[in-house]
A = this chain, B = another copy of it.
């Protein structure tokens, strides 16, 4: 049965799932949902995900939502190669890193939230809000990476995993918004290393052709 990912090329949550699918070697078809055009609120998409969000992954006869729940599902059903390290303590650290991005940084940077900030206080305030939020969040991630599980190349251990699937899209977002993170040695090391891994290259928004749209968001 074909695996289908409904996503948006620049959506961080979509990008996380693309990386995970690539790391696990799961072939899939993409269906682009243009968030800027509001396609996530169309009836056909709401039938897939009543939250009106991307990504949605159609797999094993299911329609899965919420990127981190999707990653956990892939890990449970296709355990190799693993996205989480062995041992409950190490897994807790890897999950905490992923959540430090998914719950602390990303929710404040999504399209709808930034539009609300702009409506309240203007476009400069919107830009400042987002840059400050990303910068502060990545600094926290840098401190969390100061951990025995950090071996210098990926977020935890010597293989890319769940935390990298979440951090790399956030770094892409930081770069787009001109947030400097070169002073964050561990975050920078992860960023530098992951660009050499085929799965991360394949999942990059710029490689989401032919479905890529030339949107300004």
Binding site for B on A (CB under 8 A): 50-53, 60, 62, 64-66, 68-70, 72-73, 76-77, 88-89, 91-93, 95-96, 99-100, 102-104, 106-108, 113, 116-117, 120-121, 125, 129, 140, 143-144, 146
> CA of A80 to CA of B68 in the docked complex: distance in angstroms?
23
Contact residues in B for A65 (Cβ distance below 8 Å): 96, 144
Measured between beta carbons, the chain B residues less than 8 angstroms from A93 are 69
Q: What are 26 pairs between A and B in contact, CB < 8 Å?
A: A50-B140, A51-B100, A51-B104, A51-B143, A52-B140, A65-B96, A65-B144, A66-B96, A66-B99, A66-B100, A68-B95, A68-B103, A69-B92, A69-B99, A72-B91, A72-B95, A73-B91, A73-B92, A77-B88, A103-B107, A107-B108, A108-B113, A116-B129, A117-B117, A117-B120, A120-B120
Residues on B with beta carbons closer than 8 Å to the beta carbon of A91: 72-73, 76
Count identical subunits in the complex. Answer: 2
Q: Are B108 and A50 touching (Cβ within 8 A)? A: no
Shortest CB distance A28–B (Å): 16
Known: A117-B120, A120-B117. A66 touches B95 (CB 8 A): yes
Most buried by B among A92, A121, A129: A92
Closest residue on chain B to residue A46 by CB atoms: B143
Partner of A69, one of B50, B64, B96, B117: B96
Decide: A92 and B50 in contact? CB cutoff 8 A.
no
> Are A120 and B125 interface neighbours, CB within 8 A?
yes
Q: In the docked arrangement, what's the CA distance between A119 and B37, Å?
A: 31
Verify A103–B100 contact, CB threshold 8 A. Answer: no
Q: List B contacts of A95 (CB < 8 A).
A: 66, 68-69, 72-73
What's the minimum C-beta distance from A142 to chain B, rounded to whole angstroms?
9
Given contacts A73-B91, A91-B73, A108-B107, contact A99 B68 (CB under 8 A): yes
